Chains A and B, each alone.
Chain A
Amino acid sequence: MNLPLSLTINGVRREIVLDDPRVTLLDLLRERLDLTGTKKGCDRGQCGACTILVDGRRINSCLALAVSHDGAEIITIEGVGRGGELHPVQAAFIAHDGFQCGFCTPGQIMSGIGLIQEGQAGDDPERVRECMSGNLCRCGAYQGITEAVLEAQADINAPKQRRSA
């Protein structure tokens, strides 16, 4: 069974033919497109290491069949920096020690970017923690992760506020 699909991944359109409908977005990225920044932790939607943006929304790529997402726009950790410059969330994770071993970090960063776009948490650390609860960190860097997301959100929103003032 050949299953053709078209995906835009980090701004690049890819025409893909799957020979197996079981391939998840996570396995497609890692095993077939060599985009290994997205991590496979539990592979069951419990850890968040595989978080990517699909049509602008953060989801668990391990629980998404690739074939069901024909036509989608996907952003992975490889696609968030611009011309060698870190995304504000990436920079904030470094500034705030938002990681130790780093395995969960791509998922944390993609989730943080998704959270900021959703705009539901505001500047309340408790809401940020709640909205990041789908990303586990076994090193326990949660304090730094929360600070990083809050600072990056302030950075990203600051120019907008200045413009509207």
Chain B
Amino acid sequence: MTLAIARRTAILLLSVLAASVVVFAFMAVLPGDPAQVALGVNATPELVERTRQEFGLDRPLLTQYLDWMGGVASGDFGTSYVTRETIGPQLLDRLGVTLWLVGSGMLVALLIAMPLGTIAAVRHRRPSGAAVSGFSQLGMAVPAFLAGIILVQAFAVQLGWLPSGGWTPPAHDPAAWLRGLVLPAVSLGLVQGAVLTRYVRTSVLDVMREDYLRTARAKGLRPYPALLRHGLRNAAVPVVTVLGLQLATLLVGAVVIERVFVLPGLGSMLLDAVAARDLLTVQSIVLVLVAGVLLVNFAVDLLYTVLDPRLRRS
């Protein structure tokens, strides 16, 4: 058990390291000179060269990489030469927004998928069950940003019930924060909810075929109480796996949703940084995102080991 965890931790660290090399190399070959972008159209070559030196871009790539990674290892992401501010605090600030978005999106997805998936399974031979399946197919086909645009049109522009975008931190004004979070969370959660509904449906269907559930029904329990008491617990196992995998998708979806709803999260920070050729910031954000996804996978892996005793022996 300990050995398995140690091995997985080592793999995690190596993966992050490999990712950092790839990210750095990619930034190095990206066309466009950060110094030129900062100085504007009429900059003289000497001035561009001086600024490159100021930014530290004239140093050998290996030095630049080691410098960066050395800093990251000690929690210092460096200072952006575009914003002139330290990257670490900005990253944390933006990460907070993205995590709220992803978390609430996940919550919406679960609130949709759990009941709908169960209903679709229990009634899979009836029209209502088929209708739920149909709706989830439709939901999967709608991209999150489109859902966002439609929701904004309806609830912000036409009805005026909710803001069309923008972000208020919860500590500042909880009510405004919640109002601002509803539409983005729903846009993000709808699609994920549709995907998840299908997994819930399948795993509930599987569970319904199990002997213990038939026994429960034979003892006289109605279908839903039987499922609730004996089935859902078991049906949740595969759903947790999918949930972990979906977190990565949610992060990607969040980048787009942040754009639609003007949320100052990691995604919009990334897009801004790319446009300004703020390489150091881009590198750091991508690394954090990659590390985040790897961490979730790592957590899911660990969860398996906890759930399934057979995996502990390998």
Q: Do A and B come from one complex?
A: no
